[in-house]
Amino acid sequence: MTKPRLTTTAGFSIQHLQFLGPQGELTQALPETMNHETLIKLYEAMVLTRLFDTKAINLQRTGQLGTYPSCHGQEAIGAGVGLAMQATDVFFPYYRDHATFLLRGTPMSDILSYWGGDERGSANVENPASEDFPICVPIADQCLHATGAAFAFQYRNEKRAAVTTIGEGGTSQGDFYEAINLAGAWKLPVVFVVNNNQWAISTPISEQTACKTIAQKAIGAGIDSVQVDGNDVIAVHHAMQHALEKARSGKGPTLIEALTYRICDHTTADDARRYIPQDEYQAAFEFEPLKRLRVYLEKNNVWSDEKEKTMMAQHAKTLDEIVTKFLQRPKAEITDMFDYLYEKLPQQFQFQRNELVNEHG
């Protein structure tokens, strides 16, 4: 006879992970899987992301790009996620993931096209086999798409993981809870990464939730979680590697909370000075992720002013190519709005397509 279970006890705690402190000092030994070569790669990607970000804002200010969400100060999250993922894993982004896009080989000119009002920005014509999802603007939807893809990997016994990103504000959404809950119940190979930059446009985390951490939300879903210093790319990368290996080997989902600070506006349509306390905002710059990594690399004699100069020259050239490609992209066909709606456009709407061509074609 199966007896009904009517009592239960449980206790929980949240671990905080950091390797590299804000002064570039190691707070614990480097993970075994990390080396200086990888750190340089991460550093270069983070710097290029910041340059890209600055350039994109300038393009918006000069009317060449639409609304754009900066990731200034949050490059370590995107870089750690992007480098830890394998090509066969699938990414379900939100919209502050520029460093991950860069490291996954998504053409950065496409990212500009997307924010420049062109659907081809999510087409990835250079790599049509890419299974990565497009940028997700409706908050938290992507968590469920990742969970669905993770189901497909599990269904086909593939050693792959789905990775999705979200802001801390997004974790207030039902879809976030629904996704982590199902991922736990079905032990799906998915990693949820929360960029906790402490601001959801103008709403601070204190008004978003009574939770002391976002990581603890995983407890309610019965899945593993960890809080990492989101300005420490080593911690982000390490937690990601661990979570991905776990997922790929059938041991279920993980929630990673990357704690950082939004030292930028929400988007170019926002003015954070209206609501972020200026002293707190200025103080957050002391913790940003690039400087600490450069200090660490220089202290270990694997980086120098000269190497910095060489990298910057290379990055300037790369960036120039990205922007030129974006600006010189030929205009799309106006009929594209009909031609990708269904695999085959139903007759009923063929007439409207003709109407469009007659008016504008």
> Cβ neighbours of residue 35 under 8 Å, at least 6 residues apart?
none
Task: Name the residue nearer to another protein (CB basis): 131 or 308.
Answer: 131
What is the C-alpha separation between 258 and 236, in angstroms, rounded?
Answer: 7
Task: Name the residue nearer to another protein (CB basis): 36 or 120.
Answer: 120
Task: Name the residue nearer to another protein (CB basis): 179 or 228.
Answer: 179
Shortest Cβ distance from residue 342 to another protein (Å)? 5
Shortest Cβ distance from residue 283 to another protein (Å)? 38
Shortest Cβ distance from residue 241 to another protein (Å)? 23
Take residue 52 and report the two structure tokens written for it: 């890209």
Residues with a catalytic annotation lie at 262, 266, 275
Task: Name the residue nearer to another protein (CB basis): 281 or 338.
Answer: 338
Task: Name the residue nearer to another protein (CB basis): 106 or 254.
Answer: 106
Task: Name the residue nearer to another protein (CB basis): 100 or 147.
Answer: 147
Answer yes or no: are the C-beta atoms of 30 and 19 closer than 8 Å.
Answer: yes
Shortest Cβ distance from residue 199 to another protein (Å)? 24
SS3 of the chain? CCCCCCCCCCCCCCCEECCECCCCCECCCCCCCCCHHHHHHHHHHHHHHHHHHHHHHHHHHCCCCCCCCCCCCCHHHHHHHHHHCCCCCEEECCCCCHHHHHHCCCCHHHHHHHHCCCHHHHCCCCCCCCCCCCCCCCCCHHHHHHHHHHHHHHHCCCCCCEEEEEECHHHHCHHHHHHHHHHHHCCCCEEEEEEECCEECCEEHHHHCCCCCCCCHHHHHCCEEEEEECCCHHHHHHHHHHHHHHHHCCCCCEEEEEECCCCCCCCCCCCHHHCCCHHHHHHHHHHCHHHHHHHHHHHCCCCCHHHHHHHHHHHHHHHHHHHHHHHCCCCCCCCHHHHCCCCCCCHHHHHHHHHHHHHHC
CA within 13 Å, CB half, 295: 15
Shortest Cβ distance from residue 133 to another protein (Å)? 7
Shortest Cβ distance from residue 235 to another protein (Å)? 28
Strand partners, 26: 20
Task: Name the residue nearer to another protein (CB basis): 151 or 281.
Answer: 151
CA distances from 49 to 52, 81, 155, 210 (A): 5, 14, 36, 33
Shortest Cβ distance from residue 166 to another protein (Å)? 13
Write out the residues near another protein by the rule CB under 8 A. 90, 92, 119-120, 122-125, 128, 130-131, 133-134, 138, 141, 143-153, 155, 162, 174-175, 178-179, 181-182, 185, 336-337, 340-343, 346-349
